[in-house]
Amino acid sequence: MKPLASLPGPEGQAPAPAWPGAQQLPVQGVRAGNVFALRDWVADEVPVALEINGISHAVMLATPLDLEDFALGFALTEGLLATPDELFDIEEEVSEAGITLHLRVAGAAFARLKDRRRAMSGRTGCGLCGTESLQHVTRALPPLPEGAVLQRAAISHAMSQFRAWQTLQQATGAVHAAAWCSAAGEVLWLREDVGRHNALDKLIGALARAGVNAASGFIAVTSRASFEMVQKAVSARVPLLAAVSAPTSLAVQTAQQARLTLVGFARQQDMVVYAHPARLALDGPMEQRRAS
């Protein structure tokens, strides 16, 4: 359980530090039998519209942090951009209604967008709201190569680092996180958002902007592993996706077809592998340490 923020101090005392992506609101309640009234940190959630070459494409509900990462990651994982180089510029416009991200993209990318226009308002809630036909649900992605075998200790190590990295979650208790980890399980990049898809898009966008070879590590998320989370991981060419909760059947099916190693219920030293277990050494160093 996250700690509650303290009341503002006496006049002249320094105000509480600001948390980007959150605001303090008055709350009342009961904890351990004691009634309290104070100000608590609450995660921001605002409409974020994506406009591509002047054409409205999608409206998401998101935490207004790392929005350039989000715009690039969304465009890449949705197949709107073939490469990061097709995105020329992003301009952010703030209004009372929300935030609009104006993306200027290459002509080839804009032509692809017009060929497969989709109305996706509210996508963070249900994943595929507004998709025009069943043919638009899945995209053909090349299967992942076999790659190196990872040790299960790397996943456990990555999950143990989440709390230290999730500053907004510690403040609000309301956001998901997606992290990119080295093959040894070191968390190197992490993004947070009220929407699990958004957090993953932000992470993938950040990796693309930094020129990181995403295939050299794996992604860990604090949510369930839905079909779209799997499809986004495959689009980033990441060989393994580890989730703290369960996958869905469509996620498992998609992971099997794409040769993605899909891990669920990754908590402490426990985990369940749902697809392509050959890429993960389940009887690795941790078992050896127990026996010794």
Clarify whether residues 60 and 38 are in a common domain: no
pLDDT of residue 26: 97
Q: Do 29 and 65 belong to one domain?
A: no
CB atoms near residue 109 (< 10 Å): 21
Residues 197 and 262 in one domain: yes
48 shares a domain with 38: no
Check residue 258 and give its pLDDT: 97
Reported pTM: 0.87
Calpha distance 90→234 (Å, rounded): 25
| Domains held by the chain: number | 2
My answer on whether 17 and 157 are in the same domain is no
| Close Cβ partners of 178 (under 8 Å, ≥ 6 residues apart) | 190, 191, 196, 199, 200, 202, 203, 219, 220, 221, 222
Task: Let me know whether 31 and 72 are in one domain.
Answer: no
Torsion angles phi and psi, residue 65, rounded to 5: -130, 145
State whether 3 and 148 are in the same domain.
no
Q: Using an 8 Å Cβ cutoff, are 245 and 223 in contact? A: yes
Domain boundary among 42, 58, 75: 42
CB 152 within 8 A of CB 286: yes
One-letter identity of residue 4: L
Separation of alpha carbons 158 and 175, rounded Å? 18
CA nearest neighbour of 192 among 210, 209, 174: 174
Q: Which domain holds residue 107?
A: 44-292
Q: For residue 292, give the CATH number of its domain.
A: 3.40.140.10
Q: Say if residue 21 is in the same domain as residue 95.
A: no
For residue 19, the model assigns a pLDDT of 82
Angle between the 67-77 and 196-210 helix axes, to the nearest 10 degrees?
Answer: 90
127: left (phi over 0), alpha (psi -120 to 50) or beta: left
| Domain match, 17 and 129 both | no
Which of 204, 200, 192, 202 shows the shortest CA–CA distance to 20? 192
DSSP string, 231-284: HHHHHTT-SEEEESSPBPHHHHHHHHHHT-EEEEEEETTEEEEEE-GGGEETTS
110/91 same-domain check: yes
* pLDDT less than 50: residues of the chain: 1-15, 118-130, 134, 286-292
| Residue 280 and residue 251 share a domain | yes
Q: Which of 44, 41, 51 is nearest to 6 (CA)?
A: 41
Per-residue model confidence (pLDDT) at position 7:
36
Q: What is the pLDDT of residue 113?
A: 87
Return the H-helix or E-strand segment holding 56. strand 55-62
d(CA 264, CA 210): 28
Catalytic residue list: 126
Looking at the structure, do residues 151 and 36 belong to the same domain, yes or no?
A: no
